[in-house]
Each structure stands twice: as structure tokens, then as C-alpha cells.
């Protein structure tokens, strides 16, 4: 059973579950009074609870056990050009599972989807996907899903830590060499282009702002593949718990 996110104040030992989580627990998971469920508090602590009473639209849960969350030792922002349909949904789901702490949809020169007028609707959908993925993979937090951001605005705002931009060009530095020379970083931003990749003008603009262009091997991955593989490589190299 996946975990369910709640908000409890310190010292409380009971909570009320309502809304979509209540519907899922009662209609999909078929939870009954006396059953134990796993909860995640807003402070990151993992809770074991027992269902005390089920009402028409909510359930009362008693907290039996609490395990404090481990401190997150890194900040990893993934900026990726907006992809078509299900592909971007897939990227958000898998990036959450890998361990990315923030996802920023990028409006780039070659991004095909147009989000004009649909930003709020799409953002709500993406945030819901992130929450569900965080539940399923037992994360102690839900990554931030930012509103779509213009490429130039993004590279200007991201001015902390190590910054990388994926560029499958033979002149770009190999990622393994780049990571070896830089060493571990606790604050990192990674940019991955849309289906058509970044334009040469965008690559030049990013590099001029201090972003490091890199390539991975001799193959060119699809954007949705790179959005999973590349963060996983960084996590493996830099994560405190690996």
C-alpha cells in the first residue's frame, strides 16, 4: 500500500483523512476499521496509523508509530522543455521516483506544445502526478512543480550551485569527465531540451551564463529517456545515501 500525505501538528496522535485519499482508501484499497495504513506528515516523518472509525466522507486514524524523516542533503532542479501529451506526464512521474526535488517545464525555441491559456490546468495535472508518484515511491516530500518558464528567464534565475545543460554534440564534454573534475555538489540544476533539442543560440546563451554543456556517450537519447537517465546518474554520483 502506498503512503498518504497528511498535515499534523507536533504532539497530535489522531488525524482525519478526507477527499480523494478517503475515496481511494475506502473504494480502491477497501480499508476497514482496525486496518493499519502508512501516512507521511508534512514535516517528512513516516507514520503508522490504525483506522479507528469510517464516516460517510472521512475516516479517523490513530497514530501508532512515528519515524522522523532523514534530512535531504541536496537540491536538484530539473528544467526540461515541454513535451507532447503523455511524455511530459511520464517525465514528471519518473523524475519524482528518481529523487529530483524541483521540476520546471521550459518554454524553448523548439518546444512543440503550446501552453498558452492552459497553464493553470496543466500545472494542476502535473502537481497531481507528482503527489501520486511521491506516495507510490514512499518519498518524504513532494517535489515542487513550477509553472512553465521561459528558457532565458530560467537560465538567468538559476545562479547557485552547479548547472548543466545536455547537448549531444561531439564537441561537448563527456558527463563522466565533467562529474569527475567537479566533484560532489549539494545544489544542482540540469536542463534537458524538448524533442528537437536546444537550438545553438540557446546553448550559447546558457554557456555564457555559466552552464556546462555535456554529452553522454555516442548515442542521442529521446528527451523523455534523458529526463530519467541523466538525473539518475547525478543522484548515483552525489546522493548522501548512495
Q: Which three cell numbers stand for residue 187?
A: 545544489
Residue 15 has pLDDT above 80, yes or no: yes
* pLDDT tens string 178-208: 888 877 778 899 999 998 899 999 999 999 9
Percent of the chain at pLDDT above 70? 93
Q: Which three cell numbers stand for residue 72?
A: 535531504
Residue 240 has pLDDT above 60, yes or no: no
pLDDT band at 49 (very low <50, low <70, confident <90, very high): very high
Residue 151 has pLDDT above 50, yes or no: yes
Query: How far apart, in whole angstroms, are the C-alpha atoms of residue 53 and residue 42?
Result: 23
* pLDDT tens string 222-237: 999 999 999 999 888 8
* Domain covering 75-238, topology: Alpha/beta knot (3.40.1280)
Residue 213 has pLDDT above 80, yes or no: yes
Strands 58-67 and 14-18: antiparallel
Is-contact 198 62, C-beta < 8 A?
A: no
What average pLDDT does this structure show over 25-53? 91
pLDDT band at 84 (very low <50, low <70, confident <90, very high): confident
Is-contact 228 91, C-beta < 8 A?
A: yes
Is-contact 152 118, C-beta < 8 A?
A: no
The pTM of the whole model exceeds 0.75: yes
DSSP state at residue 213: E
Helix H or strand E segment including 93: helix 85-98
Instruction: Provide the 3-class DSSP secondary structure of residue 120.
Output: helix
Query: How far apart, in whole angstroms, are the C-alpha atoms of residue 208 and residue 1?
Result: 48
* Residue 159: per-residue pLDDT: 85
What average pLDDT does this structure show over 110-121? 74
pLDDT band at 117 (very low <50, low <70, confident <90, very high): low
For the chain, the average pLDDT equals: 88
How far the first Cα of the chain sits from its last, in Å, is 25
Domain spans, the chain: 4-67, 75-238
**CA 100, chain centre distance (Å):** 4
Residues 6+ apart with CB under 8 A from 108: 81, 82, 151, 193, 194, 198, 199, 202
Which of the pair, 186 or 20, is modelled with greater confidence? 20
Question: Per CATH, is 4-67 categorized as 2.40.240.20?
Answer: yes
* Residue 241: per-residue pLDDT: 42
Strands (E), 42-154: 46-54, 58-67, 75-81, 102-107, 144-145, 149-150
Residue 155 has pLDDT above 90, yes or no: yes
Amino acid at each position: 500500500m502506498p503512503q498518504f500525505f497528511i498535515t499534523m501538528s507536533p504532539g497530535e496522535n489522531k488525524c482525519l483523512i478526507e477527499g480523494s485519499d478517503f475515496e481511494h482508501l475506502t473504494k480502491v484499497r477497501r480499508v476497514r476499521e482496525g486496518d493499519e495504513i502508512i501516512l507521511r506528515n508534512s514535516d517528512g516523518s513516516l507514520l503508522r496509523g490504525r483506522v479507528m472509525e469510517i464516516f460517510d466522507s472521512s475516516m479517523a486514524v490513530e497514530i501508532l508509530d512515528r519515524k522522523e524523516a532523514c534530512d535531504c542533503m541536496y537540491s536538484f532542479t530539473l528544467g526540461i522543455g515541454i513535451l507532447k501529451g503523455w511524455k511530459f506526464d511520464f517525465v514528471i512521474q519518473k523524475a519524482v521516483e528518481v529523487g529530483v526535488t524541483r521540476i520546471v517545464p521550459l518554454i524553448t525555441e523548439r518546444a512543440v506544445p503550446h501552453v498558452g491559456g492552459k497553464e493553470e490546468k496543466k500545472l494542476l495535472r502535473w502537481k497531481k502526478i507528482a503527489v501520486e508518484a511521491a506516495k507510490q515511491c514512499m518519498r518524504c516530500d513532494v517535489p515542487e512543480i513550477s509553472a512553465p518558464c521561459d528558457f532565458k528567464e530560467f537560465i538567468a534565475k538559476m545562479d547557485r550551485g552547479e548547472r548543466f545543460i545536455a547537448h549531444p554534440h561531439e564537441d561537448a564534454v563527456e558527463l563522466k569527465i565533467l562529474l569527475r573534475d567537479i566533484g560532489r555538489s549539494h545544489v544542482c540544476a540540469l536542463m534537458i531540451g524538448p524533442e528537437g533539442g536546444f537550438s545553438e543560440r540557446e546553448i550559447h546563451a546558457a554557456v555564457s551564463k555559466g552552464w556546462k554543456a555535456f554529452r553522454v556517450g555516442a548515442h542521442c537519447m529521446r528527451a523523455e529517456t534523458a529526463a530519467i537517465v541523466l538525473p539518475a546518474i547525478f543522484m548515483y554520483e552525489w546522493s548522501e545515501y548512495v
